[in-house]
Structure 1
Amino acid sequence: MSSETTIDAFRKAEDLVAQRRPFEALRKLEPVLDVEPDKPSVQLLLGRACFFSAQLRRAERAFLRVLELDPSDHYARLVLGRTLQRQGRLREAQTQLRLAATMNPDPAYQEALGEVSARIAVEDG
């Protein structure tokens, strides 16, 4: 796959994820993964597509790979936290969301952390 073709496939996959068409995005992304498996942006897009298609374990692996490559990626921590939350792994989610909110004080990050923390408080009762 040429560099231009890889870029085009990646952009098409991004558009498909934005349109909430994750299965189509995954099909477009497969050849990109063959060429650029260790590129954080490719793994992040893979994780997002997997998240939206409820392939939560695969999404988790992709987000963890992003963090191996770039531990300072606050967005990867946010979506990893959301992925763990959807799996019911609230304490792990809280840890990732707390880190993300510390790294980037965006209100959406604080809201995600608050949501998980409230669920933990209710469960602990």
Structure 2
Amino acid sequence: MSSAKTSLALLAFALAASTTGCATAPKPSAKSDSERALAAAMKPATAEERAAANRADPLTRANFWGKENLKAPEDLTVSLEFARSLREIGSQERALDILSRALIVHPDSPEALMLLGRIQMASGDIANAGRAFHRATEVDPERAEAWAALGTTFDQQGQHGLAQTSYMHALQFEPSRTTTLTNYGLSLLLTGDLAGAEAKLRQAAANPDAGARVTENLALALGLQGKFDEMKTVSGAAAPKQVVEQNAALLRDLIKPARSWDALADAPAPSTVAALSAPAETPAAAPTTTVEDSAANPEQPRTLRLRN
């Protein structure tokens, strides 16, 4: 074969190869665009975006953290924020589901355990709330709020001795925590330890963040011991004089030693005695005598309540 024919054959082969390559090559621009869009969609929000979302209304906040949870379902911070926002809009069951999933991946997270217990407590599931709080004390033994919350679940179930032991543990780590002192005092009141209740409630009332309810609880503890003058002094700062006098008179009648059943049945309804309730713990078992907060709402009965 002549050199001219050889050159033509080689040129034809080269052209054929290059044409085949061009026909099968992918379109790089379309693929890269879709990849960039997917990467952008799955990119976590910035710290500034998260902060802005937490300043928004509850529904917007829940939607935002729901999207973040889809991007990173195993991120503990995202799961906690999503569960809190769901709880705020009243979606308790969904919040429990998110926390349950988070605890599979992060079984030793005291924050997740505490939030789980609070949601269960609010839903009336006291036994499981107690288990969550107890587990939180195991993974973080110096967490005062976990011990205090555990105490409220024991009080709710009538196990006041265990509740008081839990409060003592909590006070080892936060000796002046107002809610713990108040709940401890109310628990002692439920078991008839009026002097012990007075001591704890005095400590709570001395704190700068103690509200009117703390002083009302102290006043009631004093009144139940017959310390009516001191009760009036303590209660006078938070209630009108007439209400204070009525409360004192009612308690004086209630604690008289020789009261027949008929006399008690004929006694006026306790419509003016200040409510027993701690400022921030969950409800405990109510005492046999229901009392009311007439200063706030004379029509609404209130019972002793411990809050978390």
TM-score normalized by the length of structure 1: 0.84
Once the two structures are TM-superposed, the CA of residue 15 in structure 1 deviates from its matched residue by: 2.8
Q: Which residue is equivalent to 2:186?
A: 115
Once the two structures are TM-superposed, the CA of residue 52 in structure 1 deviates from its matched residue by: 1.1
Identify unmatched segments of 5+ residues in structure 2. Answer: 1-68, 194-286, 288-308
More helix by share: 1
Q: Which residue is equivalent to 1:65?
A: 135
Cα 1:110–1:63, aligned 2, differ >3 Å: closer, same or farther?
same
State whether residues 16 and 24 of structure 1, in contact with CA within 8 Å, keep that contact through their aligned partners in structure 2: yes
SS at match of 1:121: coil
Q: How much is the aligned-residue C-alpha RMSD, in angstroms?
A: 2.4
User: Runs ≥4 in structure 1, deviation > 6 angstroms?
Assistant: none
In structure 2, distance between residues paired with 1:20 and 1:48 = 13
Q: Which residue is equivalent to 1:31?
A: 101
Q: Which residue is equivalent to 1:92?
A: 162
Once the two structures are TM-superposed, the CA of residue 21 in structure 1 deviates from its matched residue by: 4.8
Cα 1:108–1:20, aligned 2, differ >3 Å: closer, same or farther?
farther
In structure 2, distance between residues paired with 1:113 and 1:53 = 23
Q: Which residue is equivalent to 2:72?
A: 4
Once the two structures are TM-superposed, the CA of residue 27 in structure 1 deviates from its matched residue by: 2.1
Paired residues in the alignment total: 123
Segment drifting more, 1-10 vs 63-72 = 1-10
Q: Of 100, 117, 121, which aligns to 1:51?
A: 121
Larger radius of gyration: 2
TM-score normalized by the length of structure 2: 0.37
Q: Percent identity at matched positions?
A: 28
- For residues 54-87 of structure 1, the C-alpha deviation after alignment (integer angstroms, 9 at most, x for no partner) is 1111111111111111111100001000111111
Segment drifting more, 77-86 vs 47-56 = 47-56
State whether residues 51 and 59 of structure 1, in contact with CA within 8 Å, keep that contact through their aligned partners in structure 2: yes
Cα 1:108–1:46, aligned 2, differ >3 Å: closer, same or farther?
same
State whether residues 22 and 52 of structure 1, in contact with CA within 8 Å, keep that contact through their aligned partners in structure 2: no
State whether residues 20 and 52 of structure 1, in contact with CA within 8 Å, keep that contact through their aligned partners in structure 2: no
In structure 1, distance between residues paired with 2:88 and 2:143 = 20
Partner AA of 1:113 in structure 2: Y
Structure of greater relative contact order (alpha carbons < 8 Å, 6+ residues apart): 1
Cα 1:84–1:17, aligned 2, differ >3 Å: closer, same or farther?
farther
Q: Which residue is equivalent to 2:240?
A: none
In structure 1, distance between residues paired with 2:101 and 2:93 = 14
